[in-house]
């Protein structure tokens, strides 16, 4: 494609600061060194305009988020980020767009010492695929199949914020307070992958997953892979002050925390005896870790709220449940069930 090499040079080539990169952008392959004694953790995520983000999302935020969702997967495995590749499909070579997109991408890459080592650039409907690579010592990987009966179930940060922001961004349930709107939109558009918290939990935590599709749906993956169940207490869910202010009932906030996606917090299971140590280690990174329940031998999820059984109205997003996209599903499920007045 004409101008492709110039584009890659201008927007996607930065000086290399890693000594494990022998060769990066510009040859047929990148040449990289994996540290002895560690496993290579690899993960890919695609973001499609109109599916994973509203089409009018700022390009800086698209660049940030495309990398953030991938780094979140490394965090969920307890892996330290190292390298990424970027396959980008662009409808046109829009220079201001590319400038802002790459600024958002590198704003997140640089503090994590992540090197962009290659990729592919094509023309077509906007789509961004990033593959990240990181390192983890084998015994310290936070695998989905490692939850044990009696473990504490805990989550980082707060839940439901991104779901509330999406309802605002789609014009379904506007937030009039500008400070809350900005804070909640930042939670949606510029999630903070919980890498420091994940590294702090190495050797302490058993299982982990990042919350991309909603707590209930994502925790269920851990339960299925580990052959266990969980009991969660709704009154323990960490809800931000902004989310509490921007929902009309506490139940709306709780249901967003359970079912809406895009928060990119971690859900971890921790042996009960090590809970205080885990919480202190994560707090030392400036991140809250909140205990929300226990792993049980009984399969499935048991939810209660102040001692009474609680039944939410929906269970997060599932791309293959029907033909709807994240954004469309947000319109039909989440907004209808959470943000209209309940009768
Ligand atoms: P090839 O045809 O051999 O696959 P390309 O023309 O696709 O090579 O890419 C040339 C070089 O630029 C390669 O090193 C590739 O990894 C890199 N590259 C292409 N697109 C991107 C991108 N969007 N970001 C980073 N590197 C890229
Ligand atoms: Mg290529």
Per domain, the residue ranges of the chain are 4-139, 142-342
Q: What burial class does residue 307 get, using C-beta atoms within 10 Å of its C-beta: 0-12 exposed, 13-18 middle, 19+ buried? A: exposed
Nearest CA to ligand 1 atom 16: 118
Going by alpha carbons, the residue nearest to atom 1 of ligand 1 is 28
4-139: which CATH number, 3.30.420.40, 3.40.190.10, 3.10.20.30, 3.30.1330.10? 3.30.1330.10
β-sheet with 115-123: strand ranges across: 39-48, 127-136, 80-90, 115-123
- Contact between 127 and 84 (Cβ < 8 Å): no
CATH superfamily of 142-342: PurM-like C-terminal domain (3.90.650.10)
Q: What is the pLDDT of residue 1?
A: 52
Query: CA-to-CA distance for 332 and 330, rounded, in angstroms?
Result: 6
Q: Quote the ligand 1 centre to 21 CA distance (angstroms).
A: 16
pLDDT of 328 above 80: no
Ligand 1 pocket mutation, candidates 3, 5, 8, criterion most atoms within 8 A of CB: 8
pLDDT surpassing 70 at residue 167: yes
Q: Give the per-residue pLDDT at 211.
A: 98
Provide the mean pLDDT of the chain.
91
Q: Whose CA is nearest to atom 20 of ligand 1?
A: 120
How confident is the model at residue 3, as a pLDDT?
79
Tell how far the Cα of 31 is from the centroid of ligand 2, in angstroms: 15
Nearest ligand for residue 5 CA: 1
Chain centroid offset of residue 15 CA: 27
In this structure, which ligand is nearest to the CA of 28? 1
Spatial neighbors of 84 by CB under 8 A, at least 6 apart, are 67, 70, 109, 114, 115, 116, 117, 130, 131, 132, 133
Q: How confident is the model at residue 314 (pLDDT cuts 50, 70, 90)?
A: low
The confidence score (pLDDT) of residue 54 equals: 84
Q: How confident is the model at residue 316 (pLDDT cuts 50, 70, 90)?
A: very low
- Please name the residue whose Cα sits nearest to atom 11 of ligand 1: 26
- Whether 4-139 shares its CATH topology with 142-342 is answered no
> Hunting for tokens 């804070």 — which residue is that?
183
Instruction: Select from 119, 128, 131, 133 the residue to mutate for testing ligand 1; criterion: most ligand atoms less than 8 Å from CB.
Output: 119
Cross-strand pairs, 153: 269, 293
Query: Which two three-digit tokens encode residue 100?
Result: 């802002």
**Residue 220 confidence (pLDDT) above 80:** yes
Q: pLDDT tier at 2 (50, 70, 90 boundaries)?
A: low
């Amino acid at each position: 494609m004409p101008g492709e090499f110039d584009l890659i040079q201008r927007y996607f080539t930065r000086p290399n600061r890693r000594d494990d990169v022998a060769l990066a952008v510009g040859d047929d392959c990148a040449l990289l060194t994996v540290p002895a004694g560690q496993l290579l953790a690899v993960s890919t995520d695609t973001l499609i305009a109109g599916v994973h983000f509203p089409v009018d999302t700022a390009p800086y935020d698209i660049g940030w988020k495309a990398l953030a969702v991938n780094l979140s997967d490394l965090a969920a495995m307890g892996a330290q980020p190292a390298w990424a590749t970027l396959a980008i499909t662009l409808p046109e070579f829009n220079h201001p767009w590319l400038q802002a997109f790459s600024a958002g991408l590198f704003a997140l890459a640089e503090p994590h010492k992540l090197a962009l080592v290659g990729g592919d650039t094509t023309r077509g409907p906007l789509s961004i695929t990033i593959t990240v690579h990181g390192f983890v010592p084998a015994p310290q990987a936070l695998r989905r199949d490692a939850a044990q009966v009696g473990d504490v179930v805990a989550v980082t940060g707060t839940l439901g914020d991104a779901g509330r922001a999406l309802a605002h961004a789609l014009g379904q349930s506007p937030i009039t307070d500008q400070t809350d709107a900005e804070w909640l939109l930042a939670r949606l558009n510029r999630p903070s992958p919980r890498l420091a918290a994940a590294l702090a939990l190495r050797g302490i935590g058993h299982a982990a997953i990042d919350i991309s599709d909603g707590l209930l749906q994502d925790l269920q993956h851990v339960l299925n892979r580990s052959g266990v169940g969980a009991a969660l207490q709704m009154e323990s869910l960490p809800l931000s002050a902004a989310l509490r202010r921007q929902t009309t009932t506490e139940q709306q906030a709780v249901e967003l925390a359970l079912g809406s996606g895009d928060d990119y917090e971690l859900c971890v299971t921790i042996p009960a005896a090590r809970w205080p140590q885990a919480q202190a280690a994560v707090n030392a990174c400036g991140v809250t870790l909140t205990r929300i329940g226990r792993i049980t031998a009984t399969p499935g999820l048991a939810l209660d709220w102040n001692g009474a059984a609680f039944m939410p109205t929906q269970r997060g997003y599932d791309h293959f449940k029907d033909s709807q996209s994240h954004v469309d599903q947000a319109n039909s499920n989440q907004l209808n069930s959470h943000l209209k007045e309940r009768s």
